[in-house]
Amino acid sequence: MLSKSLTVVNPSGLHLRPAGVLSQTAMKFKSDIIIERRGRRSGNENHD
């Protein structure tokens, strides 16, 4: 399994439109996406 960590360097974080693009792109792949901020995690598993 391939694993990749990315850091958003924008002090304002990930805005709505870029987050939507990330979500739409991720749904095209068999993937596990976890977004974490200050120890709080949100994730989605997409195995279809």
Task: Give tens-digit pLDDT for 3-23.
Answer: 888 888 888 888 999 889 988
* Nearest Cα residue to 35 out of 48, 46, 47, 44: 44
Q: Determine the pLDDT at residue 46.
A: 55
Output Rg (C-alpha) for the chain, integer angstroms: 11
Strands in 1-48 per DSSP E: 31-37, 40-46
- State what percent of residues in the chain have pLDDT above 90: 6
Is residue 30 within 8 A of residue 46, CB to CB? The reply is yes
